[in-house]
Copies of this chain bind each other. A is one copy, B any other.
Amino acid sequence: MTTQDDRATVGAMHTVTMSDVAERAGVSSATVSRVLNGNYPVAQATRDVVNRAIEDLGYTANAHARALASSATHSVGIIVNDLVDPFFSYIVRGVEQEASATGRLCIVAASQGDVDREIGLIDRMISQRTDAVIVVGGGYEDPRARRRMAERARTLAGIGSTLVLCGRPSVGEQAPTKIVGYDNEGGAFAVTQHLIAQGHRRILYLGGPIGLSTSVARLAGFRRAMQSHGYDVPPELVHQGAFGRRFGHATMGEILDGNPEITAVFAANDLVAAGALDAMTARGVRVPEDISLVGYDDIPQSSELTPKLTTVHVPLEDMGRESVRLALSRTDDAFGRHADGEIIVGTRLVERESVAPPRATPWTPGR
């Protein structure tokens, strides 16, 4: 009832629906639906009338009704630790770009590194029936979490969606996930080799949460490189803890004050490296003259440090884009049993200015 007003500028009290448009255009709502979706032939004349009505009424389709009727949501979900950490925000940017390019909206949520929260968020995305849910970043070796994750992967597969692990290890062969990853161990091995080739022997490994898959792999690559040359990795030269700048700064400071006699630092990521660099600079330690420094990830800021950081390039934004592409490419077998689809993106050493051969005598606090 009620449609004899033309007060186009006043907010309607009753949300305008498709049948309002239909009525005004003098057609059925099916026709309105057809001109909206443009997937069925509609006479140009009718099309015009309908569009006119849509315009007049200021109609905007209800995405939920649409999703319900067509079971197509045109959305993807992404879960990250922290939205301001460049590692994550570049990946989110890639995801948003690709989602947007394929007409999808992007639901993003931050887990703050909390496993339970993460699972809860996945469940909310399942509720949303997103075309994909992308979980980003390393995880902990926790059987219970893996199992719960695997369950979600199955649920998602069951509703025709996909769980993609972006920069996170598999949660089991059985789980129907897709993976977009890169070789952390290999990259770490490569930078370490680089340091060793320059003549470094006493290298400090700094940063990365203990037990986080990403940390674990990077540390493993570091160790393997050292050991393959017969060099020791004394416990006092391995300091883990976190992936942030603050950690790098604080820990590097303490270590420096303890006269470690190191000639190089392998920071677990660029943020840690930036923090460490600060600590060194503040103490008059010159990089790379006194101590060499390498990072990991190659976030754009790294080439803006002084000196520019030598690091391992990880194509963050691409990973985001690939994650949604992979998820949307439906190639799994009929029973959805077989976990298919895995992309390993390339990584490479980026040599800039923070590495040089070691000094004849290691830097020490006093002098």
Q: Residues on A close to B: CB < 8 A? A: 9-13, 15, 58, 60-68, 73, 75, 82-84, 86, 89-90, 92-93, 96-97, 100, 105-110, 123-124, 126-129, 151, 154-155, 157-159, 176, 245, 274, 278, 281, 301, 304, 306, 336
Q: Does A129 contact B84, Cβ atoms closer than 8 Å?
A: no
Q: Does A60 contact B126, Cβ atoms closer than 8 Å?
A: yes
Partner of A64, one of B10, B68, B109, B151: B68
Contacts of A105 in B (CB 8 A): 107, 109, 124, 128
Partner of A274, one of B97, B159, B304: B304
Contacts of A123 in B (CB 8 A): 60
In the docked arrangement, what's the CA distance between A245 and B154, Å? 44
Partner of A58, one of B84, B124, B155, B301: B155
Shortest C-beta distance, A56 to chain B (Å), equals 13
Shortest C-beta distance, A312 to chain B (Å), equals 19
In the docked arrangement, what's the CA distance between A207 and B64, Å? 43
Partner of A127, one of B62, B97, B106: B62
Q: Does B89 contact A12, Cβ atoms closer than 8 Å?
A: no
Q: Does A83 contact B93, Cβ atoms closer than 8 Å?
A: yes
Contacts of A278 in B (CB 8 A): 304, 306
Contacts of A66 in B (CB 8 A): 127
Q: Does A84 contact B90, Cβ atoms closer than 8 Å?
A: yes
Copies in the complex: 2
Q: Does A176 contact B11, Cβ atoms closer than 8 Å?
A: yes
Contacts of A68 in B (CB 8 A): 62, 64-65, 68
Partner of A306, one of B96, B110, B281: B281
In the docked arrangement, what's the CA distance between A127 and B59, Å? 10
Q: Does B64 contact A11, Cβ atoms closer than 8 Å?
A: no
Residue of B nearest to A15 (CB): B159
Q: Does A11 contact B154, Cβ atoms closer than 8 Å?
A: yes
| Known contacts A68-B68, A96-B108; A127/B83 CB under 8 A | no
Contacts of A159 in B (CB 8 A): 15
Partner of A100, one of B13, B58, B110, B306: B110
In the docked arrangement, what's the CA distance between A52 and B301, Å? 51
Residue of B nearest to A63 (CB): B127
Residue of B nearest to A155 (CB): B58
Q: Does A93 contact B84, Cβ atoms closer than 8 Å?
A: yes
Q: Does B73 contact A84, Cβ atoms closer than 8 Å?
A: no
| Known contacts A62-B129, A90-B84, A109-B100; A15/B301 CB under 8 A | no
Shortest C-beta distance, A336 to chain B (Å), equals 5
Q: Does B64 contact A73, Cβ atoms closer than 8 Å?
A: yes
Q: Does B126 contact A304, Cβ atoms closer than 8 Å?
A: no
Which 3 pairs show the lowest CB-CB distances between chains A and B?
Answer: A11-B158, A64-B67, A63-B127
Shortest C-beta distance, A55 to chain B (Å), equals 11
| Known contacts A105-B109, A106-B107, A109-B106; A129/B64 CB under 8 A | yes
| Known contacts A124-B105, A306-B281; A89/B96 CB under 8 A | no
Residue of B nearest to A99 (CB): B109
In the docked arrangement, what's the CA distance between A58 and B126, Å? 11
In the docked arrangement, what's the CA distance between A127 and B93, Å? 23
Shortest C-beta distance, A330 to chain B (Å), equals 14
